[in-house]
Structure formats: C-alpha cells, structure tokens
Structure 1
C-alpha cells in the first residue's frame, strides 16, 4: 500500500468543506424529492414527516458515502472497509450495542415514572411509523458513525494519543448537534458522553459495529419510549406527559437533556472501558502464547 504523508488530523480538516458542500447538495436534492422544498415555499415551514426525513437522510448518506469513498482511495489511500466495516466476528458487538441502548432507555423511562417525573398516557402503535422510524435511525446511525468514528476518530488516532483523539471526536459530535432545538448545557454534556461511549470500543477494536448498533438503539428506543431525540420530535410507541419539564427528565430535548442520562452513561462508560480493555489484554496474551 502506498505510504501516506498527510497526517491524520490534516485529512480530517481536508474533509470539512467538501463534506459541507457535497452532502449539502445531496440533502437539498432529497428535500426537493420529498416535497419539502415545495411545501416550504408554498405554505411556510412545516414539520417534516418521517418519510421526508428518511428521504433527506438517505440522499445525504449517498452523497457522504460517495465522498468518503473518494477520500479513502485518494487521500487516505486505504480500503473503504478500513473505516471499521469488516463483517467477521462482529455479532456480539452488534447485540451488545443494541441491548445497551435499550437498557439505558428502559431504565431511564422506568426510573422517571417511578420518581413521578412522567405519567403514562397510552400506547400508540402505528405499524408503518414504527418501520419508518427504524429505517430513519438506521440511516442516521450509519451516516454519523462512519463520519465521526470511522473517519474522524480513526484519523485522529493516527496523529495523537488514542484517548485524546476520543475526547476530540466526542467534542465534535456534541458540536455537530449544538444547533438542535431545545439543547442545553446538560444536553451538550450528554452528547459528549454518548460520543465517548460510541468511540471507546472503537479505539480497542477499530470496528464500527458497536458504535452503529448503540447509536441506532439509543435513538430508536428513545423515540419509542416517548422522548424527543436530540430535541427532534418523532414517532412514539409510548405516550406520556411531564409532571414538569426539568433537568431531571430532559424536557423538550429528550432523555439526552436529563441528569439521569448523565449518570447512566457514565456507568456504561466504565463498563465498556473495563470490558474492552480486558478483552484486548486477553487477545494480546493469546497472540503471545501462540
């Protein structure tokens, strides 16, 4: 493989403007195709439907994958799969990621009900919305994880200490969501911690499957349990009302805006750290013995 004399952090900087321009064009096309551009022009700003969000996200993903493929080939001089998308022996990471997201959201919802922060109203199962929400957050998780962990974190790791790279990538993850509706400093901290959770296994495995699975699970189950997702309203299987909107329950930003989310995420970070560090030590010992 050809040697690359462009430093990792420089490759990240090189991506910024092409990403904003290229992905922006594809997302605009997605808006036109979904009818958003027309509806905004005719009747003012309207809330997006789930299908419209899927179309825009899918066009953005197509543009991003095309761009990142070009960068991996001509700038990074590596295979696209080197982002961390190898399929071999990743079933446990996928299952672990899905269960971790479900566990946090289930515990969060249950504790907030127990503390009187939320009041259950009804179940609202709409089959098509359930499936569309699943598709939407699958697209979102692939898009953001390939960018933040697969490209940015991986390149930062080539330029600096792994844990410094992890911190910087988590900060960027928070900043990318800083314009979301109803965000607060607690929401920003929660997004930072989520960035740590999704990046920590990557620095040990260089695999994207846990980050993608956890990101999907976090968003999908947060939505199903009735919370906004990073300030964005979406389909909810469970409908509830707030006793009051506060920093305990997250209010209009969603569970990510709550102090309880901070506590649960910190607990998961320690669990992931000791789990993946121990796993890597066992693998290294096995290689030495063999």
Structure 2
C-alpha cells in the first residue's frame, strides 16, 4: 500500500452524499454564524477583536463537528483523516508551507528585480515579527486547520473510500468552492462570485493534490497557513504597515506562481509512490 492510500473501508453512495452534505453545510453555517456574531459585536471593519472572535468561534465549533462525524458516524479513528502525530506532523506542516513559500519567494524576487513591484516596510522589524506570529495563530485557528480538517481531511477521506483519489481531489475542490463562494457572496454580494469561485476551486485542487502526495493533512495545512499569512500581512494594513506598489502584480508573482508550482515542489519534498487511481 502506498503512503497516500487511505485505510480500508467503504461507504454507500447515499450515505456518502449525506455525510458530505452535513460536513459542507455544517461548516458553512458555522462560518456564517461566527462572522455574523463578530460583526454584531465589533462592527463591519476587521479588527483584532473581530479576527480573534472569528478564529476562536470557527475552531471550537468546526473541529468538534469533524471529530464527532469521524468517530460516531464513520466509526473511524481520527488518524484516518491524515492527522499524523509527533515529529512527522511538524515535518509535513513545514514541507507544506515550503510548497507555497519557495515558488512564491522566487516569483517575488523576479518581480522586484525586473522593477514590476516595489515593497516598503514602514513598521519596525519587531512589529513585523509580532504581526507574523499573531497572524500564524489567527490564520491557523480560523482558516488553515479547521478548513483543511473538514475538506482535505474528512471530505477527502470519505470520497477516497469509493472513488479514485484524483476524483476525490476534484470533488472536494467543488465542495470547498461552494462553501467559500457562498460565504463571500452572503457577506460581500454577488460581485465577488466569479473571482472567489475560481480562487477557492483552484486553491482546493492544489491543496488536495498536496494532501494526496504527502498522505497527510498537515501538509495542506502548512500550505494554507503560509498562503493566508503572507496575503493578509502584505495586502492588509490591519497588523503591520507594508506598502505594496501593485496588489495585482504581488498576487500574480506570489500566489499564482505558487499555485502553479506547488505540486511539483511537493513531489520533490515527499518522495515515493503516490496512489492517484485506486479507492481505499
């Protein structure tokens, strides 16, 4: 058995559909409820208090949802979700972060060297380090861990019990895109529909492939964490004062380059056979 082949087990199609619907709809309701609550408490604009409320609320509701479904509906151990422990988890998370950081850094260096982009840090080095550490915690709790646990953990694991892993990657990407796009349309209106649906689907395909190649959900968590921390650090003035001359060029040089190159980098970091075709 290759490292990415799921543990044995099967799920009837009707039962599978219900489980995926519960996981996706439950996650969407949690995020909608948490964001509505934080907005009611702290107002429309993003603030540390609002971000912290979102992070705590999403984490303490979404993680138990997955654990309950896995333990009492699927009757599978939590380890079946790809949550390795100990040093292996740290290594997978670090490698996952590198699948984003390495190509993004390369793209950023090229963009700056060619004069397409200028970045200025107005805050001190200490403020920058503090902002990074703060965002790592907030993004991990609000987005990276719970979203990856649901979609690249629970949803992906259930899908691979009946379909080829590459099909599971595409299906979970569709469900993640529905979740993220509906959330944004409800909160920001229909004007974001196309942009967000493409973004969420593309990101979910990439993180799904990383999850498959690594055989660990910690890998996709690392990618997700690196992506969101850098984007929020550079494109938001909430935590540190960074001036980016062109947001579009920055996104192209970092996020788009990383999305295109991440699976190639992952294949270099995690070596060995990868099961793309056989359900487990």
| Distance verdict in 2 for CA 1:51–1:69, change over 3 Å | same
Instruction: Give unmatched runs, 5+ long, in structure 2.
Output: 1-7, 275-280
Normalised by the length of structure 1, the TM-score is 0.73
1:268 deviates by 2.3
Listed as ranges, the matches of 1:184-195 within 5 Å are 188-195=197-204
Q: Matches of 1:2 and 1:173 in 2, distance apart?
A: 24
| Distance verdict in 2 for CA 1:7–1:205, change over 3 Å | farther
Matched residue SS, 2:160: helix
* 2:157 counterpart residue number: 154
Moved more, 209-218 or 109-118: 109-118
* 2:4 counterpart residue number: none
Matched residue SS, 2:245: strand
Moved more, 79-88 or 147-156: 79-88
* 1:115 counterpart residue number: 114
* 1:176 counterpart residue number: 179
Which is helix-richer, 1 or 2?
2
Matched residue SS, 2:118: strand
1:201 deviates by 3.2
1:162 deviates by 1.0
| Distance verdict in 2 for CA 1:279–1:110, change over 3 Å | same
Aligned length: 255
Matched, 1:15 2:23: yes
Q: Using CA pairs under 8 Å that are at least 6 residues apart, name the structure with larger relative contact order, 1 or 2.
A: 2
Instruction: Give unmatched runs, 5+ long, in structure 1.
Output: 282-290
Q: Matches of 1:122 and 1:23 in 2, distance apart?
A: 32
Q: Matches of 1:191 and 1:200 in 2, distance apart?
A: 14
Whichever of the two has the greater Rg, that structure is: 1
Listed as ranges, the matches of 1:1-290 within 5 Å are 5=12, 7-22=15-30, 24-25=32-33, 28=36, 31=38, 36-40=39-43, 45=44, 47-88=45-86, 89-125=88-124, 126=127, 128-139=130-141, 140-178=143-181, 179=184, 183=192, 188-224=197-233, 226-227=234-235, 234-236=238-240, 238-242=242-246, 246=248, 249=249, 255=251, 258=252, 261-273=255-267, 276=270, 278-280=271-273
The superposition leaves residues 95-128 of structure 1 with CA deviations (integer Å, 9 ceiling, x where unpaired) of 2122222223322332332333322333424255
C-alpha root-mean-square deviation of aligned residues, in Å?
3.3
Q: Matches of 1:66 and 1:91 in 2, distance apart?
A: 22
User: Is the Cα–Cα contact under 8 Å of residues 42 and 49 in structure 2 kept in the other structure?
Assistant: no
Q: Matches of 2:170 and 2:210 in 1, distance apart?
A: 13
Normalised by the length of structure 2, the TM-score is 0.75
